[in-house]
Amino acid sequence: MATKEKFLPETMASPEDGEKLTRGIRPFKVTYKGEELIVDLPGYYPERGGEGVHVGRDMAVVDEALRSLKEKIDGVPSPATIKRVRAKLKLSQRDAGALLKVGENAFDKYERGLVEPSGPTSQLIRILDRHPEIAKELR
């Protein structure tokens, strides 16, 4: 179920010193095992630069970038990749969990980014992405 993003005010007071912070976007470097991505990080920032305050789903872009790097470097499929592969196979989350023998609710947790699939499950998802016909054999 999609949730509506709550209205965020244009400004807020810094919780540390009361300085006025304004809603905006700043570049932020995400690093994993020597690889880097620069993302646009929303938040409340002081006019003269410095640390910002992040609320709600602001940090979701950092989480997504980190998962992208982990997928590239370690082969751990991101939630978006897992969802795409499951849809490609025309499986419900429950059916995908049964097919891969990981439990009925596993794909819900994988796709929401709450749990990463194990190494063998990650490998099988990658194989099924490249060779969807193997799903028939697994059934």
Task: Assign residue 58 a region (left: φ > 0; alpha: ψ between -120 and 50; beta: otherwise).
Answer: alpha
Looking at residue 5, its pLDDT comes to 56
Looking at residue 50, its pLDDT comes to 85
Of the candidates 55, 61, 65, 62, the residue with the CA atom closest to the CA atom of residue 23: 55
pLDDT band for position 6 (50/70/90)?
confident
User: In the chain, what are the domain boundaries?
Assistant: 11-58, 79-138
Task: Assign residue 39 a region (left: φ > 0; alpha: ψ between -120 and 50; beta: otherwise).
Answer: beta
Q: Are 82 and 117 in contact (CB under 8 A)?
A: yes
Q: What end-to-end distance do the CA atoms of the chain give, in Å? A: 29
Q: How much is the mean pLDDT over the chain?
A: 93
Does residue 2 carry a pLDDT above 60? no
- Report percent pLDDT > 90 for the chain: 86
* pLDDT tens readout for residues 53-110: 999 999 999 999 999 999 999 999 999 999 999 999 999 999 999 999 998 899 999 9
Q: Which residues contact 33 (CB under 8 A, 6 or more apart)?
A: 69, 73, 74
SS3 at position 95? helix
pLDDT band for position 45 (50/70/90)?
very high
- Report percent pLDDT > 70 for the chain: 96
Instruction: Confirm or reject CATH 3.30.2390.10 for domain 79-138, answering yes or no.
Output: no
Looking at residue 1, its pLDDT comes to 44
